[in-house]
C-alpha cells in the first residue's frame, strides 16, 4: 500500500511538472518570437541623416541643410503640416519662422573662436530617394553667415545636433562645395558624425579640407 501511494504521488508530481514545463515552453517560445521581431526592427534601415553643404560666396558662407521630414515630425510633431507644402516651393514666412525657432539652437558656427551669426533665409520641401527606403520627403534649409576672414574661410568650427538630440541614431555628413555650383563632382567630404556630448554640450567639429 505504501509503495502504491508513493507511485501515485510520483506520477502526479511528474504530470504537474510536465504541465508546468509545457507552459514554460510556450512562454519561452512567445518571448523568442517577440525578441526576433525586435531584432528585425533594430536592423531596419533608418532614413538618411542630415547633409550639410558649405560653400563660399564673397564674404558670405552659405550652408544648405537637408534632412528627412519624417524625422523632423518625430522630433517636433508640429511640423507634420509641412507635408502639405508644395514640393520645391519656398515655405511661407510663418513656416520659415517656425523652422528658424527649431534649427537656431541646434547649429552654431565660429571662426578663430569668434561666433558667426547664422541666418535662415529660405526653406523648401523636396523629394528624395534612397536605395534602402525608397522615396521620401525632405526639408531643405538655406542659411548664410558672414565670415570674419573671407580670404581664408576654413577652418570653421561647427556645432550641430538637429534631430539627433532626440533620434540618437541620426547622423550628419558635411561637404564643402569646391566649384561654387551645385554639381556632385564639386563636393568634398569633410566630416561625418553622430550625437555626442562633451562637458554637457554637443561636440564641436572643426571643418577643414582634407
CB atoms within 10 A of CB 124: 19
Residue 82 C-alpha cell reads as 509641412
Show me where the domains of the chain are located.
1-44, 50-207
Residue 147 C-alpha cell reads as 565670415
Residue 203 has pLDDT above 70, yes or no: yes
Query: How large is the average pLDDT for residues 159-178?
Result: 95
Q: How far is CA 52 from CA 101, 122, 161, 191, in A?
A: 19, 15, 12, 10
Round to whole Å and give the CA distance between 31 and 33: 5
H/E stretch holding 50 reads strand 50-57
**pLDDT 10s digits, 89-141:** 999 999 999 999 999 999 999 988 899 999 999 999 999 988 877 899 999 99
**pLDDT 10s digits, 3-32:** 444 445 543 444 444 343 444 444 444 444
Q: What is the pLDDT of residue 107?
A: 98
The pTM (predicted TM-score) of the whole model is: 0.76
Amino acid at each position: 500500500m505504501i509503495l502504491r501511494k508513493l507511485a501515485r504521488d510520483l506520477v502526479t508530481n511528474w504530470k504537474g511538472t510536465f504541465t508546468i514545463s509545457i507552459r514554460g515552453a510556450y512562454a519561452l517560445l512567445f518571448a523568442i518570437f517577440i525578441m526576433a521581431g525586435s531584432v528585425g526592427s533594430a536592423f531596419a534601415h533608418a532614413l538618411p541623416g542630415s547633409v550639410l553643404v558649405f560653400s563660399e560666396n564673397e564674404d558670405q558662407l552659405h550652408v544648405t541643410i537637408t534632412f528627412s521630414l519624417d524625422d523632423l515630425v518625430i522630433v517636433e510633431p508640429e511640423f507634420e503640416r509641412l507635408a502639405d507644402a508644395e514640393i520645391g516651393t519656398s515655405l511661407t514666412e510663418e513656416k520659415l519662422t517656425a523652422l528658424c525657432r527649431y534649427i537656431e539652437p541646434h547649429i552654431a558656427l565660429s571662426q578663430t573662436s569668434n561666433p558667426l551669426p547664422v541666418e535662415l533665409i529660405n526653406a523648401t520641401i523636396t523629394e528624395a530617394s534612397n536605395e534602402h527606403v525608397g522615396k521620401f520627403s525632405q526639408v531643405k534649409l538655406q542659411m548664410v553667415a558672414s565670415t570674419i576672414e573671407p580670404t581664408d574661410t576654413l577652418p570653421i568650427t561647427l556645432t550641430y545636433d538637429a534631430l539627433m538630440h532626440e533620434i540618437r541614431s541620426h547622423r550628419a555628413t558635411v561637404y564643402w562645395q569646391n566649384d561654387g555650383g551645385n554639381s556632385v563632382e564639386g563636393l568634398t567630404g569633410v566630416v561625418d558624425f553622430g550625437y555626442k556630448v562633451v562637458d554637457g554640450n554637443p561636440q564641436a567639429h572643426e571643418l577643414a579640407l582634407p
